[in-house]
Structure 1
Amino acid sequence: MSCIQYEKKGEIAYLTLNRPEKRNAINSDMSDLLLEYLEEYKTDPQARVLIITGNGEKAFCSGRDLKESKENPEAFRKKPLRGRLFNAIIETYKPVITALNGAAVGAGCEIALASDIRLARSGILLGMPEAKRGMGATFGATILPKLISPSYAARMLYTGKLISSEEALRVGLVDDVLADQDQLMAKAEEIALEICECAPLSVQRIKETIWKTMDVPLFQALQLDIGPNVYESEDRLEGAQAFLEKRKPVWKGR
């Protein structure tokens, strides 16, 4: 069975990490498949929202497969996650929801950080213990202080301490905590369906604007024109017409 499962139901795509016996740790084959499916999602005009989750109850993803790094260090060096996987999640420029079914550690936590919306099951642990492993957490150290309190982010990164999903909700690292896996996926799908009701070009433009202005000063950011020009799109006319006619719009993505 493949270490990654990818499927579509209507306009929602699902990407499931599928090495539960290894706590869904990412090896080179898994990394390659993740990138392939992210590209498939990015280029599929019918796929509007991606939900990333994991198989098994113990872990969403325990990080990079350190056993592979010991047994096959060349593969580990040639395929670093830092500049590939997390950027690919962001640069889909379509919404990505991560549903954390279990522990999200190291690269698993960074997958969540690269996503737009983060949901978690109650009682799981999250964090980046790279400082305890002699590693750098480069992506996490870059993005985490932008998403939560910089001092709390520093504390997490410097100590490598894992926090509960409930604590992650309190500090704004996740957006909601659900009691079990069924509720977790139901909430992810509920949000995905709400997104699918909106114009795809508008959502794309908004996602690009969020990420590309994250470090840009306010008045400079306001001068930028990022993403597709929705103001001259067919969907803008359709949105206005549907509102006047009190019906649901039929989006064309153009």
Structure 2
Amino acid sequence: MKTIHYEKKGEIAYLYINKPEKRNAIDSIMSDLFLEYLETFKTDSEARVLILTGKGDKAFCSGRDLKEAKENPEAFKKKPLRGRLFNAMIETYKPVICAINGVAVGAGCEIALASDIRLATVDCKLGMPEAKRGMGATFGATILPKLISPSFAAKMLYTGKLVTAEEALKIGLVDELLEDQQQLLERATELALEICECAPLSVQRIKEMIWKTMDVPLFQALQLDIGPNVYESEDRIEGAQAFLEKRKPVWKGK
């Protein structure tokens, strides 16, 4: 099995970070594979939701492989994760559920932040220790204060300390806690199936609206027309008709 494993079950795609012997630390080859599979998901009209998780029971992702940074600094410099991986996740415009099965630090935490929904096991820990490593946490420092209290985000980033699962739930960094990895994936799949019951164009438009208006003033954001025009779509007609006929809609994605 590759260090990044991708599979699809019906309308749900699963992407596994698969290097448990190194706590799923990501090197440049893995980041290329990750991007390749994100593109596969993005362009697959039958894939509706992506679930991200890690293999093993120790870590979701322990960040960038610092051993590669020492042994192959050119690869490390030429393929930074910021601006590539995180942007690609956001710009899929399909929902991404992050199932955090253990420690998520550095780039691993940032992968979680670039996801739309974050579920975690009760033993997980999250954080960005970049300040302790002389690094910048560029994506994390940009997005974290928008998702949680700016002062708590600053404390996390300035100290590099990790937060426990309970703390992460309390501050809104994760949405739900599950007892173990099996329950985690079951809940992630359950949520994905709920999303798949909704109109794909509507979900796409909503995701685009969420991310593209994050820093836009309210009244300016309300004037924007972002994403596909669902109001003139066949699915809007089907959705109303199905409601009146008390049946499940048959979505066409157009």
Query: Is the shorter-chain TM-score for this pair beyond 0.5, marking a shared fold?
Result: yes
Which residue of structure 2 aligns with residue 224 of structure 1? 224
Which residue of structure 2 aligns with residue 199 of structure 1? 199
Which residue of structure 2 aligns with residue 4 of structure 1? 4
Q: CA deviation at 1:162?
A: 0.3
Which residue of structure 1 aligns with residue 136 of structure 2? 136
Q: Separation in 2 of the partners of 1:71 and 1:62? A: 18
Pairing 1:159-170 to 2, within 5 Å after superposition:
159-170=159-170
1:38 is aligned to 2:38: yes
1:98 is aligned to 2:92: no
Runs of 4+ in 1 over 4 A off after TM superposition: none
The alignment's TM-score, normalised by the length of structure 2, stands at 1.00
Q: Separation in 2 of the partners of 1:173 and 1:153? A: 10
Q: CA deviation at 1:166?
A: 1.1
The alignment's TM-score, normalised by the length of structure 1, stands at 1.00
User: What amino acid sits opposite 1:97 in the alignment?
Assistant: I
Output one character per residue of 1:131-183: Cα deviation in whole Å (capped at 9) or x when no partner: 00000000000000000000000000000000111110000000000011111
1:87 is aligned to 2:83: no
Pairing 1:209-248 to 2, within 5 Å after superposition:
209-248=209-248
1:249 is aligned to 2:241: no
* Stretches of structure 2 lacking an aligned partner (at least 5 in a row): none
Alignment RMSD: 0.4
Q: CA deviation at 1:28?
A: 0.6
Q: CA deviation at 1:106?
A: 0.2
1:147 is aligned to 2:147: yes
Aligned length, in residue pairs: 254
1:54 is aligned to 2:18: no
Q: CA deviation at 1:189?
A: 0.6
Q: CA deviation at 1:124?
A: 1.4
1:63 is aligned to 2:63: yes
User: What amino acid sits opposite 1:252 in the alignment?
Assistant: K
Identical counterparts, % of pairs: 82
Q: Separation in 2 of the partners of 1:61 and 1:230? A: 37
Which residue of structure 2 aligns with residue 78 of structure 1? 78
